[in-house]
Amino acid sequence: MFKTTVKIDGMMCGMCEAHINEAIRKKLEVKKVTSSHKKGETVIISKSVLTREETEAALADSGYKVTGFMCEPYEKKGLFGR
């Protein structure tokens, strides 16, 4: 699993977060996606590595701009991960 943190310019409200989440889910194979307009970022959990280029392409029609990108290995934390 991988955690991708994407800094996004232009998010102003909860509806912006929903639009970004929907665009990501439609174009990329993800397990989970959450956005925060207050932090100006989207966090994506996926089985495979995501690239900045494919993430930017997924958001190309949305009007939002990717300003930062980081993909790193991710381990789900739970009862057995302590």
| Structural domain includes residue 6 | yes
- On the question of pLDDT at 42 being above 60, the answer is yes
Domain of 33, in residue numbers: 2-77
- CA–CA separation, 33 vs 79, rounded Å? 22
CATH number of 21's domain: 3.30.70.100
| Structural domain includes residue 39 | yes
pTM of the model: 0.89
| Structural domain includes residue 19 | yes
> Quick one: pLDDT band at residue 63, thresholds 50, 70, 90?
confident
| Structural domain includes residue 82 | no
| Structural domain includes residue 46 | yes
Number of domains in the chain: 1
Instruction: Name residues whose C-beta falls within 8 Å of residue 20's C-beta, 6 or more positions apart in sequence.
Output: 8, 11, 35, 42, 59, 62, 64
> Quick one: pLDDT band at residue 77, thresholds 50, 70, 90?
confident
Q: Which pLDDT belongs to residue 79?
A: 62
Q: Which pLDDT belongs to residue 80?
A: 57
Q: How large is the average pLDDT for residues 4-33?
A: 96
What percentage of the chain carries pLDDT values higher than 90? 87
